[in-house]
Amino acid sequence: MSERLIVIGGCAAGMSAASKARRLNSDLEIVVYEKTGFVSYGECGLPYYISGIVDDHHKLVVRTPAQFARQDIEVHLHHEVTEIIPENHLLRVRNLEDGSSRDESYDKLIIATGGRPALLPGFSPGELGGVFVLRALEDGIAIREFIQRERPKRAVIVGAGYIGLETAESFHLLGLETTVIGRPPQVLKRFDPDMAKLVQDELERQGIRLSLGDEVKALEGNAQGRVQRVVSSKGTFEADLVLLALGVRPNMALAQAAGVALGETGAIATDARMRTNLPGIFAAGDCAEAHHRITGRGAYIPLGTTANKQGRVAGTIAGGGQAEFKGIVGTAITKVFDLYAALTGLSEKEAQALGYAVKSTLIKAGSRAHYYPDGRPMYVKLVVEEGSGRLLGGQIVGGEGAGPRIDVLATALHKGMTVEELSELDLAYVPPMSPVWDPLLVAANVALKATSL
Amino acid sequence: MSERLIVIGGCAAGMSAASKARRLNSDLEIVVYEKTGFVSYGECGLPYYISGIVDDHHKLVVRTPAQFARQDIEVHLHHEVTEIIPENHLLRVRNLEDGSSRDESYDKLIIATGGRPALLPGFSPGELGGVFVLRALEDGIAIREFIQRERPKRAVIVGAGYIGLETAESFHLLGLETTVIGRPPQVLKRFDPDMAKLVQDELERQGIRLSLGDEVKALEGNAQGRVQRVVSSKGTFEADLVLLALGVRPNMALAQAAGVALGETGAIATDARMRTNLPGIFAAGDCAEAHHRITGRGAYIPLGTTANKQGRVAGTIAGGGQAEFKGIVGTAITKVFDLYAALTGLSEKEAQALGYAVKSTLIKAGSRAHYYPDGRPMYVKLVVEEGSGRLLGGQIVGGEGAGPRIDVLATALHKGMTVEELSELDLAYVPPMSPVWDPLLVAANVALKATSL
C-alpha cells in the first residue's frame, strides 16, 4: 500500500508542498484539508481585488481543486483538522458543511495552517457588522460585497502595516474617506522612522488620514449592530467600514496541542528540511518560523515568498527528495500608491536592538539620468556594521525601480558583502532606468565614506 | 611649488578623475585638455537628445567649465594633446581654435582620451553630406540640426549595437523610415541569438526594417555630395541620412606613441590603480581596458559606468589617496522601445568560446502576479558552468523590471554564486512588481534542475 501524505491547509505553503511531493513521487497518496472554500490563491492580491484592479476573485486562484485532482491530489474544502494524534499517526477531521467528524491516518503530515489576523483585545469578530479582517479569499469577497451593497462613505483601518496600507489605497480608490490608525508612531513598523516618514507623506498627500501613535479603545455600533465609529486615545472616527489589520499571528495551536515544539518567536520550529520535533511531521508557511541568515536566529516574517519556498522544501522531503530551506534575510516590499517601500536585512533600530554597532546612511538619488524626463526620487538607506563594514540591511523608498533594487541588497546580504564590495558592483545603466551612478552605488559610496572615518 | 596634474579628455572618466583628485587634494594644480567644445556630459543621452526626449543639449551637461573653474579645475576646450613626452614629463598641446601649439609640463598625467567610432573601411567621414557618427555632443547636435533643417525621410543605420538601436528608435519617433544594417546575423552581438531575436522581433513590430548578416559595400551620393543610398551585399537602401554606428575603438594612439603599453584587447593596459606602465601616467575610461572578474582577463567593454569608476580611482590615486578598480563583470543594458535588453557576465557563446562547459536555460515569466493587470513577459537566460553549478552569466529581455533584475545577477557574479545559491535568494514580492516566484528564482530553479541531471 502506498504511503499517505496529508497536508493541513491549502494556501501557498500547503499546495506548493502537495504539488512538489506529487512531482517527485507518483506513488504517494496526497490529501489536503482546507477549512475555507478555496485553495491555492494569491492572498497578497486581496487588496487589489477589493479595489477592482483585479476584477474577478477567480483570477486570484492559481489552481482549483479540480486541477489538483488531475494531478492526483485530493483536496477537501471546508474541512478542518481539529486534532493531531501523533502517537497513532491520526488526524481528527471535521467536515464543516455537515458538522461530522472522522479520523484519518497519515504516514507523513505537513502542517501548513498559515497565519491568523491579530485581533483587538476585548473585541470579537462578528460582534459588529461592517467590521472585517482581510486574510482569506472569503474575507476579500465579503469586503467587496459589503462595499458594493452598502456604499460606505468612511473607512477606518486599524493597523498601518502592509495589508493596512495597501487596503487603505484600495478604499481610497473606491472613493471612501479613509483613516488609518496605528499604535506605533510610524507606519510599517519594521522600517526605520526616517524611511516610514516618506511613506506617511505619500499617504497624506494622496488624502489618507493617519492617526499614528494612537490606540483604539472601542468600536461603537448603532442599534442595528453596525459599526458607527472608532474611539481611540486620540479621538473619535466616524466609520461605516472598519478593517482590522493588526498583523498576522502563526496558527500553531493545533500543532502545539499535539506536542509540536514552537520556536522563540512562538511559531512552529523546524529544521532546514522543514521537519518539526515530531517524526513524520513537517511545518511550512505562515505557521512556521524561518531561520534568519543575518541574526542566525528564528524569525517570524510571514510572507508568500517564504511560504512557497518552505512548502516546496517540505514537499520535496515528504516526497522522498533532498532539499533545504536555508532561510531568509528579511526582504519585504509594499506598494503605496506609486511609491514602493522595500527593506531587507536589519533596519537600523533592529540592528541596534540586537546589539550591533552600526552606522546608517540615507541618500536621495534620481531614478533616471538627470536629463531624462520624469525621473523620480529614490531614497536608499544602508545599515552597516562598524568595524567590519559588513552590510546588515537596506531600505529603499521610491517609484519605478525601487523594488527590484532591494533584491540587489538582499543578494549582497546572502553573501555577507561589505559596503566596499557593494560600491564595486558592475551595475547596469541606461538613461531611462538609472543615473550613471546607480542609487545603490551612490549609497554604497556614501556608506563607505561614513564607515571609513 | 604645487604638483601639476594634467587630464587629457574631459568626458566621464576625465572629469571624474579631475573632480575626485580635487576633493582629495586642494594643493594640486589640475588642468584638463578637451578637444571638443564640451566636457562632462552624458554621452549615453545623445540618442534621446536626437529624438527630442531631451529637449536641450545643455541638459546633458553635468558641469560646465565655469563650474569646474569654481572647483579650481582649469578646463581648456578645443585643445588637443598631440604628443606625450614622458622622459621630460611634457605634453605638446594644440589650440584648435588658433592652430598654435605649446608644451606643457605635468607631474601626473591621466589619459582619458575615450573611444572613437569605428568607421567603414575605405570611407572617410565627411566624404558625403548626411553621413554621421554619434560619439561627441557635437555629433548629436549636428544630427538633430540636420534633421530639423533637411527633413530627411529615410534613414539607414549601419550597425546594430546599443547606439545603433537606440538611435533607430529616435529616428523612428521622429517619423523617419528607418533601416538598420548589421554585419552579424543578429542585433546586439554580445547577446546570444535567442535573446537578440526577442529584440529583433520588437524592432520589426515597431516598424524598423532590419537587414542582418549584411555588409555595406558603398555609400552613394548625389551630385551635391549628399548621401542618397547605401549599397549592401543584400540590396540597396535609399537614404537621406546615414548613421555609422559600428562600435567604439579605444583612442590609444597618442598613448601608444609615447610608449604606454596596450593590453590584449588593444586598449591601454593598467593595474587596479589605473596606472599604466609609465611612471606618473594613468589611464581611465573608454581608452583603457578593464579587468574582467569572470574571465580574469582584460576586456574592452567601453561604458559610462566603468569610465566613471575608473576615473574616480585614477583621480584618487593621482590625488594621493588609496583606491582600486577591481574590474567589471560585463554588465550592459539597452532600451529598445519598451523593451529592455540586459546582460551580465558571459553569454553562452562567449563562455563556450572561452572553453567553459556550460548549460544554458531560458525561461519566460511574467513581470507581475498572474492576476495583476498589464504584466509583461520577461525572458531570463542563465549560463551555468557544468559541474560546479557556478553562474557565469545572465541575460534578461523584458519590459518593466527587467533592467534592475540584471543587477541581481551581476551581484551574484561578483560573489561567484552558484545557481543553487541563486535559487535560495530572499527576493522581494508585491503583486504589481513580480510574481510570487520572481522570474530570477524561476530561472534559477530551472537552471538548477538542468545542471543537477
Which listed residue (B44, B62, B96, B141) is catalytic?
B44
Dig out the grid coordinates for B183 from the structure: 554585419
Element (H, E) at A316: helix A304-318
Which residues make Cβ contacts (< 8 Å) with residue A192, sequence separation at least 6? A347, A348, A349, A360, A381, A395
Interface of B with A in 348-377 (CB under 8 A): 369-373
Interface test with A, best of B137, B407, B440 (most A CBs within 10 A): B407
Quick one: DSSP state of residue A230? E
Which residue is closest to B421 within chain A, CA to CA? A414
Interface test with A, best of B339, B371, B418 (most A CBs within 10 A): B371
Dig out the grid coordinates for A192 from the structure: 526605520
Helix, strand and coil percent figures for chain A, each rounded to 5: 30, 30, 40
- The Cα–Cα gap between A91 and A82 comes to 8
Closest to A356 in 3D by CA, of A307, A308, A309, A390: A390
Q: Please give the average per-residue pLDDT across B372-386, as a whole number.
A: 96
Q: Estimate to the nearest angstrom the gap between the alpha carbon of A364 and the chain centroid.
A: 27
Residues of A within 8 A of B425 (CB-CB) are 407, 410-411, 414
Residues of A within 8 A of B331 (CB-CB) are 426-428
Which residue is closest to A313 within chain B, CA to CA? B424
Residues of B within 8 A of A428 (CB-CB) are 305, 331-333, 342, 344, 403-404, 406-407, 410
- The Cα–Cα gap between A144 and A331 comes to 30
Q: Please give the average per-residue pLDDT across B331-359, as a whole number.
A: 97
How many Å lie between the alpha carbon of B83 and the closest alpha carbon of chain A? 31
Task: Answer yes or no: do A414 and B427 touch at CB < 8 A.
Answer: no
Paired residues of A41 in beta bridges: A61
- Is B411 at the interface with chain A, CB within 8 A? yes
How many Å lie between the alpha carbon of B376 and the closest alpha carbon of chain A? 15
Paired residues of B374 in beta bridges: none
Is A11 in the active site?
Answer: no
Quick one: DSSP state of residue A261? P
How many Å lie between the alpha carbon of B122 and the closest alpha carbon of chain A? 33
pLDDT at B123 over 90: no
Digitized pLDDT (tens) for each residue of chain A, 453 residues in all: 689 999 999 999 999 999 999 999 999 999 999 999 999 999 999 999 999 999 999 999 999 999 999 999 999 999 999 999 999 999 999 999 999 999 999 999 999 999 999 999 888 878 899 999 999 999 999 999 999 999 999 999 999 999 999 999 999 999 999 999 999 999 999 999 999 999 999 999 999 999 999 999 999 999 999 999 999 999 999 999 999 999 999 999 999 999 999 999 999 999 999 999 999 999 999 999 999 999 999 999 999 999 999 999 999 999 999 999 999 999 999 999 999 999 999 999 999 999 999 999 999 999 999 999 999 999 999 999 999 999 999 999 999 888 899 999 999 999 999 999 999 999 999 999 999 999 999 999 999 999 986
Question: What per-residue confidence (pLDDT) applies to A452?
Answer: 81
Q: Please give the average per-residue pLDDT across B104-114, as a whole number.
A: 98
pTM: 0.97
Residues of B within 8 A of A60 (CB-CB) are 371
Which residue is closest to B396 within chain A, CA to CA? A428
Give per-residue pLDDT as tens, B300-323.
Answer: 999 999 999 999 999 999 999 999
* Contact in structure between A227 and A220 (CB atoms under 8 Å): yes
Residues of B within 8 A of A372 (CB-CB) are 45, 48, 53-54
**How far, in Å, are A131, A165, A172, A173 from residue A229 at the CA level?**
11, 20, 18, 21
Per-residue H/E/C for A90-117: EEEEEECCCCCEEEEECCEEEECCCEEE
Give per-residue pLDDT as tens, B35-48.
Answer: 999 999 999 999 99
Residues of B within 8 A of A328 (CB-CB) are 426
Question: What per-residue confidence (pLDDT) applies to A123?
Answer: 86
B184: helix, coil or strand? coil
- Is B342 at the interface with chain A, CB within 8 A? yes
Interface test with B, best of A291, A411, A446 (most B CBs within 10 A): A411
